[in-house]
């Protein structure tokens, strides 16, 4: 029988940490939790989450969670949520699936540009190596684009964000609608990121007054 395939660095870390902190007995002894990728920059690491011990007596949950990582293409990613709970049995050796309440994400590019996104709820899926946001999802960039959509999927190991289900946006050029959008790291560091609207794209140009 062939040996099992190695886990990705981030997926392995999420799995290992989740199995350490999510069981109720362990959670009752902890007051903070870290989730880091294997190449995290300690100077950019963010804070831990507080744990509501009373809630933990009812279900495995981490309150006010804050997760930090650095992608393989050197974009700093921060994920926060009002609470995080395991959608799978943490005692089982299976891919971890975390459910997020009111998640928010932030991408900080080496060139200094920033993209923020938020949703009503979401998931971190170890098997897919991604985060999914649903509900009233909003993506905002430091260059003045604001896009609204039903779903947004963000990769965890690399810089790639995809908006799905129909996009309504506004920006420096005017008002936009599209089937979907993609945000990725630009080929040159000076550009920061590349934001592309795809599918049936419509632009209503609003000239400067």
| pLDDT given at position 60 | 61
| pLDDT given at position 57 | 41
pLDDT at 51 over 60: no
pLDDT at 114 over 50: yes
Alpha helices (H) along the chain: 9-21, 24-27, 53-56
pTM value is 0.69
In whole angstroms, give the CA distance from residue 56 to residue 24: 6
Greater confidence (50 vs 165) lies with: 165
Mean pLDDT of 39-54: 40
pLDDT at 158 over 80: yes
Q: Where do we find the tokens 């050029």?
A: 173
Q: Which CATH number fits domain 9-205: 3.90.850.10, 2.60.450.10, 3.10.20.30, 3.30.70.2740?
A: 2.60.450.10
């Amino acid at each position: 029988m062939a040996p099992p395939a190695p886990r990705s660095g981030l997926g392995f870390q999420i799995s290992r940490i989740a199995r350490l902190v999510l069981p109720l007995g362990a959670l009752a002894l902890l007051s903070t939790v870290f989730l880091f990728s294997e190449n995290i920059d300690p100077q950019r690491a963010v804070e831990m989450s507080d744990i509501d011990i009373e809630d933990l007596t009812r279900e495995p949950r981490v309150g006010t969670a804050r997760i930090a990582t650095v992608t393989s293409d050197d974009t700093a990613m921060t994920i926060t949520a009002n609470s995080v709970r395991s959608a799978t049995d943490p005692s089982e050796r299976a891919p971890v699936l975390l459910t997020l309440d009111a998640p928010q994400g932030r991408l900080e590019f080496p060139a200094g540009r920033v993209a923020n996104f938020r949703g009503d709820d979401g998931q971190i899926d170890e098997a897919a190596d991604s985060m999914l946001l649903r509900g009233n999802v909003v993506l905002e960039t430091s260059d003045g684009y604001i896009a609204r959509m039903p779903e947004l999927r963000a990769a965890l190991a690399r810089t790639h964000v995809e908006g799905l289900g129909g996009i309504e946006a506004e920006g420096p050029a005017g008002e936009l609608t599209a089937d979907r959008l993609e945000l990725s790291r630009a080929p040159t560091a000076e550009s920061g990121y590349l934001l592309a609207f795809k599918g049936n794209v419509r632009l209503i140009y609003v000239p400067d007054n």
